[in-house]
Chain A
Amino acid sequence: MGVRPALRPYLLIVPALLLTCGILYPFGLGLYYTLFDFSASRPRPDLVGFDNYRAMFGDGAFWDSAWVTVLYAVGAAATETVLGVSVALLLHRSSWVGRVLEKILILPLMIAPVIAAIMWKLMLQPSVGVVNHLLRPFGLGGVQWTDTPAGALLSSIAVDVWVYTPFVAILALAGLRSLPASPFEAAAVDGAGWWYTFRRLTLPMLWPYVLVAVIFRFMDSLKVFDIIYALTEGGPGDSTMVLQIRAYLEAIRFQRYSFGISYTIVLWAVVYLAAMVLVRHLGRVQRKAAEAR
């Protein structure tokens, strides 16, 4: 290449930059649309400034959605963390059972979330689903899993947990396998109990790894769409109407584009802020873990 060396890195980046712009353009366009009352019924929209946002924040439905979204994200991320770390600890003991099972750990994670939701939908059908069939001996054969508000939210979280627990487990297991041996040997020599070792050694050193997983899971479940779309479509009532589902219904079903995009812009801002806070916290944790070693 007969290009001046100083320019070369830019040249290599240019294609990616162009592509990035191609993705950023619709994003900017979306921001622009939210300032209009653009919908299928108003192809020549008027500039309305921040009216869309004002209408949204003044609407109880928005706050309901925000609440459901946060419930879902916290519920899913917390359950996946506890379960994933537990599974990782059990696998790390590395009995022959663990070694066999470790190979198939990732299967649920590689199934499209929407397909996972379809699977669970079939299994959770109240009358013919296999879950209630298996519960019948326990006198729980008639549970309306996806037809009651609480049940629908719990069911969708359960699908999320089913799909993504391996994600946390895989990262936690990688963390466990990279921990230094000497502190644990010292603890064993001192006769430290299992719980003490776990609280004082394992967990603090493992936490940076787990935190990466938690950040990913929390961010992703804030913008959940596939699982809820396939399982409940936001129902019954509005009990699982998370922000992205409501945005979809507004923009695509009712074709009120501007209003629908306003929902996603607010969600994007929330996710972005949460990410900043969590990543900063992660940096602190990593530094602390590095000092502790």
Chain B
Amino acid sequence: MTGTGTEGGGDRGAGTGRTRGRDGRAGEGREGGRDQVAGGRRKRGRDRVVGGRRKRGRDRDRDRVAGGRGAGRVWGWLADAALIGYFVFALFPIAWMLILSLKPADQLFSTYFSFTPTLGSYRTVLGDSEGIPFVRFFVNSLVVSVGAVALSLLVGLPAAYASARHRFKGSENLMFTLLSFRFAPELTVIIPLFVLYQKLGLFDTYVGMIWVLQLVTLPLIVWIMRSYFADLSPELEQAALLDGYSRTQAFFKVALPLVKPGVAAVSLLAFIFAWNNFVFPLILTSSEAQTVTVGALSFLGGDRPKYNLTAAAALVSVVPPLLLALTIQRYLVRGLSFGAVKS
């Protein structure tokens, strides 16, 4: 499947505003509904008609397809309102965590939207004062995620290059085996590893975690880099070979620099997935190598769940992936679809 980004694609017209299925899902519909009104008021549809910056002619002929100018404008408002409704649903939980984490403990249940903000929860969480070494979990997450990505790059890049450039016996099978990891239930591997790690002394260690995270990072890196290498024209490397470069030099000096942005993006994406993993550390670590995803749950334990601390811990633990995600927007499509959809 190749989408060579031919911009345009005509116009699907307005009027998709009726996102069916937006209502009736766990209490989001009505919320969204209410904010649609707010959204409707906030917006001044003027911009669309009076030359809102048209982007590469993508929205030509809208009004013609939607049937008349007036109708098109109304549909446009409805569509924007529906969009805003969805994004309220998408962003509200994050905003709510922020509110919860800034609330003092005594105002947790008394008021909803009015409170005196305090950084107390963050101080508690980052000061390890609840007997939960959260900072350590955070560092552990960093170590195992970076370690897993580094190891995957080390073995994955050569493999991706070889499988893109040489069709050899068994290469396809090997690639599909790798891809099938992506769909294997994690526990199929983890439960035996749980038994094995305890024998080998790898239980609750960085090495053990980095090893098992290959299940997440290696298929991603190999598959995506393979699609990048396959897109490179082989002539460049051939020219380098004619200039007297060795194969290895051609790889390092010609092929690799050309796919550098891809390598950077896929590394960050792999890091995010490793960071967000929960099953592996849940089962294969207990304290020494435990990560934030498991650590965040521990604030909910005990006889009185500490909502504000949980919210603070949750927010702290999503900061790295969110920041990284915003930097790799352009590469996401290819990364998320394992190279099946190019953008």
Contact = CB atoms under 8 A, between A and B. Distances in A.
Given A1-B248, A119-B314, A97 B9 contact: no
A188 B296 contact: no
Nearest to B218: A19
B6 A181 contact: yes
Contact of B9 (A20, A135, A179, A243): A179
Contact size range, A: 35 or more
B166 A261 contact: no
A23 interface: yes
A178 interface: yes
Interface string B272-300: 10011111001100000000010011001
B302 interface: no
Interface in B191-210: 191-196
Contact of A12 (B30, B90, B161, B246): B161
A280 B285 CA distance: 39
Question: Interface of chain A, helix or strand or loop or mixed?
Answer: helix
B131 interface: no
A107 B91 contact: yes
A103 B90 CA distance: 13
A220 B296 CA distance: 23
A111 B191 contact: no
B185 A223 contact: yes
B325 A106 contact: yes
Given A97-B84, A111-B276, A184-B11, A15 B48 contact: no
B249 to A, nearest CB: 10
A257 interface: yes
A16 B163 CA distance: 11
Chain B interface main SS type = helix
B10 A154 contact: no
Contact of B194 (A23, A101, A252): A252
B97 interface: yes
Interface in B76-115: 76, 79-80, 82-84, 86-87, 89-91, 93-94, 96-97, 100, 108-109, 112
B314 A115 contact: yes
Contacts of A188: 10-11, 61, 64-65
Contacts of B25: 79, 154, 157-158, 161
Given A162-B89, A177-B7, A194-B65, A12 B186 contact: no
Contact of B317 (A90, A94, A115): A115
Interface in A90-120: 90-99, 101, 103-116, 118-120
A170 B333 contact: yes
Contacts of A99: 55
Given A98-B80, A177-B9, A181-B9, A244 B186 contact: yes
A97 B6 contact: no
Interface stretch (B14-22, B118-126, B132-140, B253-261): B14-22
Interface in B36-75: 43, 47-48, 52-53, 55, 58-59, 61-62, 64-67
A87 B80 contact: no
A239 interface: no
Nearest to B42: A97
B147 interface: no
A180 B6 CA distance: 7
A209 B334 CA distance: 12
Nearest first, the 7 closest Cβ-Cβ pairs linking A and B are A184-B10, A178-B3, A158-B26, A112-B276, A16-B159, A179-B9, A12-B162
Contacts of B79: 90, 93, 95
A247 B6 contact: no
23 contacts: A9-B168, A10-B168, A12-B158, A12-B162, A15-B159, A22-B211, A23-B212, A27-B184, A82-B20, A90-B17, A93-B59, A95-B79, A98-B80, A114-B293, A116-B93, A171-B333, A178-B9, A180-B6, A180-B9, A194-B15, A194-B65, A226-B278, A267-B188
A9 B165 contact: yes
A82 B80 contact: no
B19 A13 contact: no
